[in-house]
Chain A
Amino acid sequence: MRRVEFYVSRGFALAAVLLLSASALPAQQDAGANDPKPAAAQAVRNGAGKKQAKPWTPVYLSDGEPNWQGFWHARPGGDTYDITGHKPRPDFNLQGDGAPKPGIHRVSGTPDGSIPYQTWAAAHYQDTFENIDSPTKPQYVDTQAHCLPDGPVRGLIHSGFEIVQSPGYIVLLSEQADEQVIIPTDGRPHVDGNIQLWEGDRRGHWEGNTLVVDITNVKGKSRLDMTGNFYGPGTHFVERFTRVDEDTIAYEATVTDPAVYTQPWKVSARFVREHVDDPIYELWEDACHEGERSADRLVISPEAAKVNAEAAAEAQEANKPPEK
């Protein structure tokens, strides 16, 4: 055979091989443009102050989901003393005139912005609230003091978090107590009803620029705030995160549990992008439980409680704004 025909026939065979190989490789999605730097650069270019809504074009990952990656923090936020805002924290968070800062009212959908407890639940809450400053029983110690996971709602309001996305999953990571929240967006069903999880079982789906997260299977043992507001193992949360602009996510969760509440109620927050101008910022290990040294001293004796109560009354008197 002539040399040219020899190589031509090999060429056909090689082409066949290449086609076979290409079709055998599974197509894999990369996370695409998840580098927070382009967003930061865009913010600087926009030149607007942080308090103004910026003109903003949604950015998408290669799998089509909106790119929300980066660091976020509730503003106002950073402390969950009382989620209803009706009980300003007495000992600090004082304003310039010595009065406590007004509380942040996050609860809505109820007549007075309070959590609509069943009678038994209201009594349980009141008992906890009256004893949180001087906990003479273990149940009066806030769950955060034991580094227990904050769980739904409180976990997002109390500390900043980082959003990381990968095809089929949105992950929320908090440095505080190394909290991790995993939200599958692949449409899988919830786990079996007999499983209770500290963070609950979460399922997310997108409605345009709103992420809707359905939370079931909660253990119901995390508290909603320091005063003792609580939920139970049957509580159902539906969260709506709406990207308002480049730097802002509006959050509203509907909380339903006929065993604990007389009606569903809502809790809201606003998350603001942070560390935009600090591209080397990283979440670090917190190791909350590992660092705990006083766990056995959190519950105090009745005598110590009495001393505390007297000292608190004195401090309140001393911090009263001067009479006009």
Chain B
Amino acid sequence: MKSRIVVSRFRILLAVTAAIFLFYVSGAHAQRPAEKNIPRTAGGKPDFSGFWQALSTANWDVLAHSAQKGEPAGEGVVEDGVIPYQPWAVKQQQENYKNRDAADPENKNYFPGVPRITYSPFPFQILQTPNKILILYEYLHANRQLRFTGERPSGHIDWWLGDSRAHWDGDTLVVDVSDFNDQTWFDHAGNFHSDQLHVVERYTLIDADHIQYEATIDDPKVFTRPWKISLVLYRRIEKNFQLLDYVGYAFDYEKYYP
């Protein structure tokens, strides 16, 4: 009797341990986000620190498009593939598109606004602290402070990159951005907005090296309803990777100095 009990207890322990071992090596645990090796801060939040870059073609056109000279084809990043312009705005976008090579504010090396700064074809660095997250962009040395503390300044301010206030929604970093001017385009295809633009970004680590980036855009002056873009940000894993610089508005002056 006694020996039978000892054997069966041992067998069950062996079976359970084996099951757990197999569960881990099979990768079945990858279904559960908590076990995807997502880096975390000492406070338990996902840690976005590091270097990231978009590979999408959204900077040329956020909607699906064929290739053009100098521009790759792309499947588009807009959910449902439609930007819900008001009727007057449809015409304005078409006008922008016709004049895009001359009229794109990117030509003047102006800050590209949000979310275009995210998918401009340059890397950016995220530095995460408890009170705020810094995003330092290589492009035009733009930077944004995504603040967990403090309040939005009162009154409308015409900023290029808006005012960003952040909070956590579980493991997703949510950034509420407003106080924009109407000077930027979403892409080279002339998709545009007014100064009533309001953007809510969501950054979620899919795994240690990929961020799912989503931005919901609403602007009651231009669109009939909010719409959403979604794309992946890729970690720059090269050894000793760092930002360099691209001061676009300086190139024409360089020859005169020092």
| Interface of A toward B, CB cutoff 8 Å | 1-2, 5-6, 8-10, 12-13, 16-17, 20-21, 24-26, 28-32, 34-35, 62, 137-139, 141, 143, 146-149, 164-167, 169, 171, 173, 178-180, 182, 184, 188-189, 191, 195, 197-199, 219-223, 230-232, 280, 282-285, 287, 289-290
CB-based contact B243/A182 at 8 Å? yes
B129 partner, pick from A9, A10, A31, A184, beta carbons under 8 A: A31
List residues of chain A with CB within 8 A of the CB of B240: 188-189
CB-based contact B125/A182 at 8 Å? yes
CB-based contact A28/B17 at 8 Å? no
A178 partner, pick from B13, B35, B143, B150, beta carbons under 8 A: B143
CB-based contact A13/B17 at 8 Å? yes
Interface hit among B93-101, B134-142, B197-205, B211-219: B134-142
| Interface of B toward A, CB cutoff 8 Å | 5, 8-10, 12-13, 16-17, 20, 24, 35, 37, 39-43, 47, 49, 109-111, 125, 127-132, 134, 136, 141-143, 145, 147, 150-151, 153, 159-161, 183, 240, 242-245, 247, 249-250, 253-254, 256-258
- A-B Cβ contacts below 8 A, count: 155
Asked if A230 meets B244 with Cβ closer than 8 Å, knowing A26-B37, A62-B42, A180-B143, the reply is no
Asked if A182 meets B136 with Cβ closer than 8 Å, knowing A31-B130, A146-B249, A191-B244, the reply is yes
CB-based contact A164/B110 at 8 Å? no
CB-based contact B258/A290 at 8 Å? no
A10 to B244, alpha carbons, bound, how many Å?
Answer: 54
A184 to B50, alpha carbons, bound, how many Å?
Answer: 12
A139 to B97, alpha carbons, bound, how many Å?
Answer: 37
CB of B242, distance to nearest CB on chain A (Å): 7
CB-based contact A197/B245 at 8 Å? yes
A104 to B188, alpha carbons, bound, how many Å?
Answer: 48
CB of B127, distance to nearest CB on chain A (Å): 4
List residues of chain A with CB within 8 A of the CB of B49: 166-167
CB-based contact B147/A149 at 8 Å? no
A35 partner, pick from B20, B111, B131, B243, beta carbons under 8 A: B131
CB of A95, distance to nearest CB on chain B (Å): 32
Asked if A146 meets B136 with Cβ closer than 8 Å, knowing A9-B13, A25-B40, the reply is no
A9 partner, pick from B9, B24, B110, B147, beta carbons under 8 A: B9
B16 partner, pick from A10, A166, A169, A231, beta carbons under 8 A: A10
Asked if A197 meets B110 with Cβ closer than 8 Å, knowing A1-B8, A282-B147, the reply is no
| Chain B: CB-nearest residue to A235 | B258
Asked if A290 meets B110 with Cβ closer than 8 Å, knowing A138-B253, A195-B244, the reply is yes
List residues of chain B with CB within 8 A of the CB of A195: 244
